[in-house]
Chain A
Amino acid sequence: MVNSDQEQAEVISACLLAGRILVENGSEISRAVDTMERIAKNAGMDSVQLFVTVTGIMLSVDNQPNAQVAGISHRTIDLDKVARVNELSREFAVHKIKLSQMVSRLDEIDNNTPTFPFWQKLLASGLLSAVLLIVFTKEFIDAPAGFVIGAIGYAVFYFFNRQFKVQFISEFFASLVIGILAALAVKLGLGVYLDNIIIGGVMPLVPGVPITNAVRDTVAGNLISGPARAVEALLSSIAIGCGIVCVLHFL
């Protein structure tokens, strides 16, 4: 059992931090709730009440007057962080690490989890575009154009996302650039079918995580977070669609 107030505060902050990292980086809600409950229980606090949504976490301890809140203002996708928090919570459960270590490790996960270098992500998105273009359309001619345009589209998305931090705008501009480049490629004879190049090019931007999590959260009974994520996915799709429509309109 946790005795001192200070220890209790430490447990609570560890729980909130873990939950925030999980929800921010694309975990489903039930996983975040489960992890937070486990951390609290393993730290010796059995009576924790949680309310987790995609935009904020509330946590209160029984017999304590105040509840703690952590707001979540932006969400990205970094599944490595989710895996690391998961691993950490498992280590904490078997008493491999202490609570103070846990907090510092969580901070470390939050701030410097390595990601793939930019050029690798570019390569991956180009390859993804080319491969899906072949899978969807059974045509090989446009694969090179799809590769280049997919990579450039992702670069535009990446750049705008860093500058403005509004995902829908980045998606809009990225798909706009993809549309323009695809039209140019067909005009210059570098590609054959405009439709196929665009389909391949926008694939790296597809909101896969929100869609999957919307379903999972809704099925799990998180009726606030599930539909909220569905709206997020819908907005992303609309942004991508608008960018493409802008180009198609002038053809």
Chain B
Amino acid sequence: MDILTVVFEMLMAYVATICFGVIMNIPHQAFNSAGLIGGISWGFYWVISHLGVGIAFGNLLAAMLISILSMYAARYKRMPVIIFNIPSLVSFVPGGQAYQTIRNFAIGHTATAWGFLMQVVVIAGALAMGFALGELYHQIGLHHWHRLLKRQSK
């Protein structure tokens, strides 16, 4: 694990996020921030997965990071959150595993296919859970800030 590989992976995720953004027709003012979120979270995922946290926990943390960063970006850019979090998620889609599931079913290796299907389900579930946790963080954080501001004004 060297720093150059991580930077390269992040750059790739940055480009992928922007390309997906073009397909989803996101406003061009949001390109850079969405790309950065995609790049940073993929780099983060790459590092923690090489530290050995496993696919489920790694995806969960990465999705949580995307969700948290996206909401900050949304507040900063004054745009809906989905403009940032949907394109950023594209590098995390379990495309390889989904393909292997279908391929193994098609050629009759059913046992292998079930294994890959389980991976797809685990990753998708982890991503969903991560998003939910990220939203929870913001809901809690929001209340927290409100409380802090109120206390200060008193």
Chain A interface residues (CB < 8 Å from chain B) = 26-28, 31, 77-80, 82-84, 86-87, 90, 115-116, 120-121, 124-125, 127-128, 131-132, 134-137, 154, 195, 198-199, 202-204, 206, 208-209, 211-213, 215-216, 219, 237, 241, 244-245, 248-249
Contact = CB atoms under 8 A, between A and B. Distances in A.
Mostly, the B contact residues are: helix
B122 interface: no
B22 interface: yes
- Across the A-B interface, give the 5 residue pairs with the lowest CB-CB distance, nearest first: A124-B22, A128-B19, A124-B19, A215-B128, A248-B106
B82 A27 contact: yes
Contacts of A219: 131-132, 135
Interface of B: 9, 12-13, 15-16, 18-20, 22-27, 30, 42, 78-80, 82-83, 85-87, 89-91, 93, 95-96, 98-100, 102-103, 105-107, 124, 127-128, 131-132, 135
Contact of B23 (A82, A121, A198, A237): A121
A132 B91 contact: yes
Interface centre among B78, B90, B99 (most CB of A within 10 A): B99
Given A27-B82, A212-B131, A199 B22 contact: no
Contacts of B26: 79-80, 83
10 contacts: A26-B82, A116-B25, A121-B22, A124-B19, A124-B23, A135-B13, A136-B95, A208-B87, A212-B85, A216-B131
A90 B12 contact: no
A106 to B, nearest CB: 16
A142 to B, nearest CB: 13
A208 B16 contact: no
A132 B80 contact: no
A134 B91 CA distance: 11
B96 A209 contact: no
Contacts of A203: 90, 93, 95
B107 A79 contact: no
Contacts of A241: 98, 102
Contacts of B79: 83, 86
A87 B106 CA distance: 48
Contacts of B96: 136-137, 199
Given A135-B13, A199-B99, A202-B99, A245 B105 contact: yes
A203 B94 CA distance: 10
B131 A79 contact: no
Contact of B24 (A31, A136, A209, A211): A209
A208 B20 contact: yes
Contacts of B95: 132, 136, 199, 202-203, 206
Nearest to A76: B25
A211 B95 CA distance: 14
